Amino acid sequence: MMRSFINSNKARYLVSGAWNTLFGYSVMVALYEIFSPSLNIIFIAILANVAAITMAFLTYKCFVFHTKGNWFLEYVKSYLVYGSLTVLNIFLTWLLVEQMGISIWISQGICIPIAVVISYVGHSRFTFKNSA
């Protein structure tokens, strides 16, 4: 049973997700350190998100779901999944922190697992739907 999980899309998704989180965090920090004197943080965040979503797309396409072709369409779909998650995360963070008085640390501890599950479902059933 454990062996089948380790070889499953879900396990590969979790490994990819850990890598993608580290990559996205590192890119954001690096771009901020390099460009903060001259660029607005919103522009830096946009650049970092483009890089992070692109990396996530590549790892999910090539390592997790192993789909063939459809590069552009799947790339656009990945932005739709992440865009929806961003809206949900902003709403949940607002609700938990501003309305319920929960600390940001706990709030993100609640939001991240929700985002992981929703993004897996979104990518497996929408972005990379034709995968085996």
> What is the distance of C-alpha 29 from the center of its chain?
17
Convert the pLDDT of each residue in 59-113 to its tens digit: 999 999 999 999 999 999 999 999 899 889 889 989 999 999 999 889 888 988 8
- Cα(32)–Cα(44) distance, integer angstroms: 6
Maximal CA-CA distance, the chain = 53
pLDDT digits (tens, 9 = 90+) for 1-38: 666 666 688 899 999 999 999 999 899 899 999 998 89
Give the span between the Cα atoms of 125 and 117, in whole angstroms: 12
